[in-house]
Amino acid sequence: MNKIPSAAEIKRQYIESLVIIEKSNLDGEYKIGNKEGKRIILLFKLLEGNSDLAKEVLPPLLKHESIKVRLCAAAHCLGLNIFIDQAVAILGSISNLNTSIFSFEAEMTLKVWREQGYLKVYQK
């Protein structure tokens, strides 16, 4: 049986993987980003199955210096239906930056969430 990682371990892995994804997106190194993306999916699925853990892990990530960490944490909050006001504010501020792919990603995330009334982050 696999041990469930601690909140600190999950936060560390989120940050590590998303910083790599952010850099790979900017550098056009998508294979590297895709590898880390698989880790993010696994972490999200852990949080999806444990709302208390999600409520512990995601708030500090919403304040992280990395735009990709904030963006992903906010999207995950919408997907889990927690910290909605914070998530919408963060995605709105990122979309208003008009910087590269991340602003577009934030804008589209908000658009889909508003149109559907929910956000399906990853297929089950």
pLDDT tens for each residue of 63-95? 999 999 999 999 999 999 999 999 999 999 999
In a domain, residue 123? The reply is: no
Flag whether 89 is in a domain.
yes
The answer to whether 107 and 98 have CB atoms below 8 angstroms apart is no
pTM, entire model: 0.92
In a domain, 84, yes or no: yes
pLDDT at 1: 44
Q: Total structural domains in the chain? A: 1
- Asked whether residue 1 is assigned to any structural domain, the reply reads no
Within-domain flag for 124: no
The verdict on residue 98 lying in a domain is yes
In a domain, 121, yes or no: no
Q: pLDDT tens digit string along 11-24?
A: 999 999 999 999 99
- The closest alpha carbon to 69, from 114, 77, 112, 34, belongs to 77
CATH of residue 79's domain is 1.25.40
Tell the burial category of 93 from Cβ atoms under 10 Å away from its Cβ (0-12, 13-18, 19+).
middle
Domain annotation covers residue 81: yes
pLDDT of residue 43: 95
| Structural domain of 15 | 7-116
